[in-house]
Structure 1
């Protein structure tokens, strides 16, 4: 039975490189029993949390929250893909996570952070959020260090496959871990 994994693109910045990383991840995580899709927060475009009820109640008054809840419920697990901004994760990602509660619970999740030093500090902070949402953090989490030589003058990858090649084994292991965890 096919399981659905959503790669949540946590950056909405116009010059972001997360779409290139997401495409590379999708290809390198591929497993016969996984359907891997992109969930782009730039196109989801949630306003800052505007629900009057606590997310833990599951009572959603706003149509955008109801749509977001339904979308998240369609997935069996998630990859949170995000850059490190000033030692933290992007606000749109935290906002999207905060909109919901029980929809996240017990679902496997992996973090793929990136930045000049791999996004280590952002991943540490996000690990606390994941724990608070009762998600199941997988053992394979990538921290991608960006090298200036791999980026063009607009900050985009010259060749994503070459730049991300050192992380290919870890991405394959991540796909295998999702496959294993979701067949238990």
Structure 2
């Protein structure tokens, strides 16, 4: 049975750039025998912690939680892609993680943050969260520092490939590390 990576797009803002970064990253991390699927929290649309039981009890009553649990169980490792918001990570990403518990345990994870200074503070905070979920943190974790010159008047990349070229080697190393861990 082949192994699969889930790349979770952790921002749901309408003006987000994370889908562009996610597609760029997916193309560089994917290996011939190790596919990377994009999991967009904007379309998964989980309610904020509405299931009455603690996630650790695995007593899900909501269909949305049951679907999310099944989806997460289908992956062997994860890449969390998220921007830094006021030195933190986006609430929808934290909610997606907190909605479940057992499903995350033991699955390797890489943190890919971005912001004006690479999203360093958000990545620090997220390290605590994944540690609490008992997810082993990979050694390759990208921090993408954004530059205003990369964006058009709507705040979108003018050329994502050109902008992210300095991070291409790290992204390929992440793919190689995932392959070593899983295959």
Q: Residue 166 of structure 1 corresponds to which residue in structure 2?
A: 166
Report the 3-state secondary structure (helix = DSSP H, G, I; strand = E; otherwise coil) of the residue aligned with 1:134. Answer: coil
Name whichever of 130-139 and 24-33 sits farther off.
Answer: 24-33
Distance 2:2 2:36 in 1: 10
Q: Residue 153 of structure 1 corresponds to which residue in structure 2?
A: 153
Map of 1:70-89 to 2, 5 A cutoff? Answer: 70-89=70-89
Distance 1:76 1:30 in 2: 14
Distance 1:153 1:78 in 2: 32
Q: Residue 91 of structure 2 corresponds to which residue in structure 1?
A: 91
Q: Residue 63 of structure 1 corresponds to which residue in structure 2?
A: 63
Distance 2:46 2:31 in 1: 31
Distance 1:160 1:44 in 2: 25
Q: What is the TM-score of this pair, normalised by structure 2?
A: 0.98
Structure 1 unaligned residues grouped into runs of 5+: none
Distance 2:58 2:35 in 1: 27
Q: Residue 12 of structure 1 corresponds to which residue in structure 2?
A: 12
Structure 2 unaligned residues grouped into runs of 5+: none
Name the count of aligned residue pairs: 183
Deviation at 1:31? 1.1
Distance 1:101 1:2 in 2: 24
Q: What is the TM-score of this pair, normalised by structure 1?
A: 0.98
Deviation at 1:30? 2.2
Distance 1:77 1:152 in 2: 34
CA RMSD of aligned residues (A): 0.7
Q: Give the ranges of 4+ consecutive aligned residues of structure 1 lying more than 3 Å apart after TM superposition.
A: none
Map of 1:97-112 to 2, 5 A cutoff? Answer: 97-112=97-112
Deviation at 1:2? 2.8
